[in-house]
Structure 1
C-alpha cells in the first residue's frame, strides 16, 4: 500500500506500509521458516546423509552435502518465514566462521532449542529473559562436559579418523589428507583446487613458488627445454617499472663481481631493457633473468613484502631506491628455477627468522578475520610461501557436479582436522552430546523456575544429533537412542556399519571445539528466537515488469 508523504523539487517521496505481528503469531511465523531450513540441512547429517540439489541460474545445478552451503541457499518467498531462516542461518555461519565445520549440528540443535522454548512460552506466564539465561547456563555446562571428555590427537591415524567422518566414510580420501599433513606438519598450508581429471592428487611445493615466469623465452634458450635453472642466485626485488639499464647497473655489477646469476623481480620492464638483458644473458656477461612481480596494486605490494622477508632481501619501492642499491639489499637463494609460468625459489640464505615468524603470525591473524573465500585462499597462499612449503590437493571427479560436492567435503574435513589437532576429539555420532546429559542433571537445583526449564530444553536438544543420524541411516532412531543412552563412555552407534561399539576405537570422532561451538551458537540464536515478541516486515509488493517482450522473457528466467 503506497502513501504519498509530499513533494520536493518535483519528486514524489513514497513509503511502503509495514506488516507487524505479535506474540505467539510472530513466533509461529518465524518457526515455519526455521523448520524449512532445518529440515533441508538435517538431511545431510551423518555418513548416510542425503544430497541436496541447488539451482544455479544459467549454469548447471550444484549438488552438495555441505550444511553451510545448503543453509546459505535457502530463501523463502514469505518475508516473515524468511526472517526465521535468516536467524537460524546466523547460527550456522557463526559456527562455520569459527571452526569451519559443525554447521548441520548447530542447525539441528538451534531448531530443537527454539521449538522447545516456544512450546514453553505457550504454556503460560514465563519470564523470557530468565528462560534465555537458563538455556545459556545449560549450554555452558555442556561445553564444560565436552572439554572434560576430550582426548588429544597424537597420531596420523587419529587425524585420518577425523577426516573420514567429515568425508562421510571415504577412507582413501582421509588417508590422502593424513599423508599430506604428515608431510607438511600441523601448521602446513593446504589449498583445494579443482582437478581436470577424475583422480585426486596432491602437489607439494617446497620453497616459494610465484605464479609468474620469465618475461621472454630467450632467457631459457641456453638451457635444456623451457626451464632456466640459476644456482646460488642473487635476487633483486622492486615495485618499480624498470625502463633503462642504468637503473639496475649497480645490481648487474654486483652480480658480475661476485660471479653469481641475478634474478630480477619487478613490477614491469620496458621492451628495450628486456632486449638488453636477453642479449647480456646470451653473451654470457651476466647470467640474468627478468620476472614480473605477482598480482597488482596493494596485493602486489603485500606479496612482494612477504617475498623480501622470506628471501632475506630489501624491497626497493621505486627507481630512486635502485640507484642507491648496495649488497645488503639483494637476497640470495641456493637455487632458482624459472619457466614460462612459474618461478621456484629454494633454500634462501641469510634470512631473519624473527621477522619471518612475525610476518607469519600477522598473516594468520588476517586469515582469522577473512570474510570471503577469495581472501582466505589468497592469505593461505601467502602463508604457505612464508613457511616455505605448500600443498595443493586437486579434487577430481567425473563431472563438475561431483567435483563441487567432493570439494565441499574436502574443505569440511580439512577444517575439522585442524580444530581436532588443536583442541582434541570426543566420540562422534552424537554420542558425546548424550554423555553430557548427566552433567546437566548434576547441576545444583536452580533457584528460579525459568532457569531450570532452560536447562531442560538444552537437555532434550542433546538427543537430536544422534536421532537425526540414525534416521538418515534408515534405522529406528528411538531404539538407537535408547541403546546409546543405556551405554556409557565411548559406546555409541556406527551409522556407516550399522553397528554399536566403542566409537573411539572405530575412529568415529568429532572435534571437541566443533561440538562446543555448535552448542554455544545454537543456544544463543535459538534463545533469541524463542524470546521474540514482535515481528516487523515489509508488506509484499508486486514488481513492475516492463511490457517489452525481451524484458518479460528475462524476468521469467530469473523467477520474477
Structure 2
C-alpha cells in the first residue's frame, strides 16, 4: 500500500531550504574559468564529468524526500536556463538558493507573506534596472573576446570561437559539432540545405555534382504525381535551352523516372529536388527557397497552378549546386521586401519555439542562411570526455555571443550582480543574496584567472527573474507531501 507523509510549516520549509542549499554548494564548484568538475557515477555506464550546474543538479538524489523537493526545484530552474541559453545554470542555482535563504530568514523574523512578496518584486525590479543601465553594446573586438573567454571558461578555445564569431557576423549562426580528427572551421556560403538531387540521372555520367548557372527556379508546395502536370512548362525550357531547377514537396516514382528520362533524351539543363527536411520543416525550407530566389510558391494553398506558369512567377539564382546529399543556392533574385517579410516570419517562428530548444535552434539556422550563413566549428579531444567538455564550453560561448550581441554585455564574474545587490541598501531583504555568485567565483579563483570578464545582459536578467520566481514559490510552502521511496544501494 502506498502511503503519504505530510510535513508542515517551518519544518517543511527548512528542509526544502536545506536541500536547495546542498545542491547550490555542489554546483558552485563548476562556476568560472578556474572551476572544477564533478565526477558523477552512472553505473553500469562510465562516470560522467559534470561541468555545468544542470549536469550536476540532474544527478542529485537526497535521502530526505522533503530536501529532495528543494533539490528538484534547483534542477528545474537549471534546466529552464540551460534550455533557453545553454549557459548560466550554475549561476541561477547559486542565486536561487541564496534568495531562498534570504526570504526564509525574513519570514522567520516575522515578515508578513504579502509584504515579503511585494518587497521581493520591488527589489528584483531595481536589480534588473541596474543591470540594464550598466550594459554596454558589444562593438569592439576586445568586448567580444572578453564575452567569449568568460563563457568558454578560459583562453583555450577563445581564438577559434572569436574567428567563428567574426566570420558568422552578427546575424550568422555558429554550429559546434564533434570533429573526426583535429579542430576545424568551415564557412558555408549561400543558402545551404541537407538534401540534394532527386535522382543521379540528372547529372552527367559519373559526375558527383550538378551546377546550374543563371538558373530559373520553380517551387511547388505539393506532390508531383505525373510528369503530365508539368509537361508544358518543361517543354518551354527544353526549347529555350535554359537551365531550370524544379523543387517540390515530393515526387512519385513514375514522375521521377520520366523526368530523368527527359533529361537524358534531350540533354536539357533541368534538375529536380525534393524540398529539404521532413514534415513541417519541408514546407518551411520550401518557402525559404522561394523567398530567396524570388519565386512564387505554386500549389493549392497559394492559388497558383503549375499549368499556368508565367515568367514573373518563376524565381532566379545566379548558381545552384546539387549533390546527392546537399544543395546550395547562390545569388537568389528575391527582392528586399520579400526577404524582409520572410525574415520576420522566421523571427516569429523563433519566438513561438521559445520553449522548444531544438526547434528554436533550427529556426535560428534558417534565419542565419539569409544573412552571413552558417559557420561550423568542429572540435576534437584526446579522449571522449575531453571532447565533450570542449564542445560544451564552446556551445555555451556561442550562446553568450548571440545574447551579448542582442542586449550588450555587463561586468562578469558576478560583479554586476554584486553591485546591483549592494545598491539596494543595507535594509533590503535580498541584497546580500546577489553577492553569492561573486563569492563562489572568488573561492574558485576566477578573479585571478580572468581579467575584466563580461556576461550577456539579457542572460543575467533572465537568471535573476527565474531564480527569484523559484525562491518565491518555495518560501511560500506551508505543507509538503512526500511518498516513502527506496533508494538504490
How does the TM-score come out when normalised to structure 2?
Answer: 0.90
State the Cα RMSD in Å: 2.8
1:381-416 alpha-carbon deviations (Å, 9 max, x no partner): 322334462222223223332332222222211221
Q: 1:158 aligns with which of 143, 146, 159?
A: 143
**Residue aligning to 2:238:** 256
Cα displacement (A) at 1:346: 0.7
**Residue aligning to 1:468:** 440
**Residue aligning to 1:194:** 178
Tell me if the contact between 2:219 and 2:296 (Cα under 8 Å) persists in the aligned partners. yes
**Residue aligning to 1:354:** 337
Look up the SS of the partner of 2:176 in the other structure.
strand
Matches within 5 A, 1:49-68: 49-54=35-40, 60-68=46-54
CA distance in 2, matches of 1:75, 1:340: 49
Residues 316 and 59 from structure 1, CA distance in 2 versus in 1: closer, same or farther, beyond 3 angstroms?
Answer: farther
**Residue aligning to 2:473:** 528
Cα displacement (A) at 1:161: 1.1
Residues 518 and 296 from structure 1, CA distance in 2 versus in 1: closer, same or farther, beyond 3 angstroms?
Answer: closer
1:284-309 alpha-carbon deviations (Å, 9 max, x no partner): 54111222222233222222122212
Residues 27 and 438 from structure 1, CA distance in 2 versus in 1: closer, same or farther, beyond 3 angstroms?
Answer: closer
Residues 221 and 259 from structure 1, CA distance in 2 versus in 1: closer, same or farther, beyond 3 angstroms?
Answer: closer
Tell me if the contact between 1:48 and 1:168 (Cα under 8 Å) persists in the aligned partners. yes
Q: 1:383 aligns with which of 338, 342, 367?
A: 367
**Residue aligning to 2:447:** 494
Tell me if the contact between 2:238 and 2:266 (Cα under 8 Å) persists in the aligned partners. no
1:207-243 alpha-carbon deviations (Å, 9 max, x no partner): 21121122333332258x4112111111222243334
* Gapped regions of structure 1 (runs ≥ 5): 3-15, 443-451, 474-492, 498-505, 544-558
**Residue aligning to 2:222:** 240
1:302-322 alpha-carbon deviations (Å, 9 max, x no partner): 221222122211223369932
Tell me which moved more, 53-62 or 142-151: 53-62
Residues 362 and 60 from structure 1, CA distance in 2 versus in 1: closer, same or farther, beyond 3 angstroms?
Answer: farther
**Residue aligning to 1:211:** 194
Q: 1:431 aligns with which of 415, 418, 428?
A: 415
**Residue aligning to 1:338:** 322
Matches within 5 A, 1:33-432: 33-54=19-40, 60-76=46-62, 78-96=64-82, 99-122=85-108, 124-171=109-156, 173-197=157-181, 199-221=182-204, 225-317=207-299, 321-349=305-333, 351-370=334-353, 371-387=355-371, 389-432=373-416
Tell me which moved more, 319-328 or 359-368: 319-328
Tell me which moved more, 293-302 or 71-80: 71-80
1:266-286 alpha-carbon deviations (Å, 9 max, x no partner): 233344444443343345541
Tell me if the contact between 2:84 and 2:357 (Cα under 8 Å) persists in the aligned partners. no
Matches within 5 A, 1:519-558: 519-537=464-482, 539-540=483-484
Tell me if the contact between 1:136 and 1:524 (Cα under 8 Å) persists in the aligned partners. no
* Gapped regions of structure 2 (runs ≥ 5): none
1:534-559 alpha-carbon deviations (Å, 9 max, x no partner): 2123x22579xxxxxxxxxxxxxxx6
Cα displacement (A) at 1:345: 1.0
CA distance in 2, matches of 1:158, 1:320: 50
CA distance in 1, matches of 2:343, 2:290: 13
Residues 240 and 523 from structure 1, CA distance in 2 versus in 1: closer, same or farther, beyond 3 angstroms?
Answer: closer
- The answer on 1:27 being equivalent to 2:13 is yes
CA distance in 2, matches of 1:205, 1:519: 37
Tell me if the contact between 2:292 and 2:332 (Cα under 8 Å) persists in the aligned partners. yes
Tell me which moved more, 231-240 or 241-250: 241-250
CA distance in 1, matches of 2:225, 2:95: 63
1:457-501 alpha-carbon deviations (Å, 9 max, x no partner): 42221322221112223xxxxxxxxxxxxxxxxxxx73316xxxx
How does the TM-score come out when normalised to structure 1?
Answer: 0.79
Cα displacement (A) at 1:358: 2.2
CA distance in 2, matches of 1:62, 1:169: 22
1:28-80 alpha-carbon deviations (Å, 9 max, x no partner): 22123212321232110011111134455775544342223333444446542
1:70-116 alpha-carbon deviations (Å, 9 max, x no partner): 33444446542222123233433444455443221121111112123
1:510-553 alpha-carbon deviations (Å, 9 max, x no partner): 2223333322322232133223222123x22579xxxxxxxxxx
The alignment of Structure 1 onto Structure 2 pairs a total of residues equal to 486
CA distance in 1, matches of 2:486, 2:430: 42
Tell me if the contact between 1:234 and 1:255 (Cα under 8 Å) persists in the aligned partners. no
Tell me which moved more, 254-263 or 205-214: 254-263
Tell me if the contact between 2:136 and 2:409 (Cα under 8 Å) persists in the aligned partners. yes
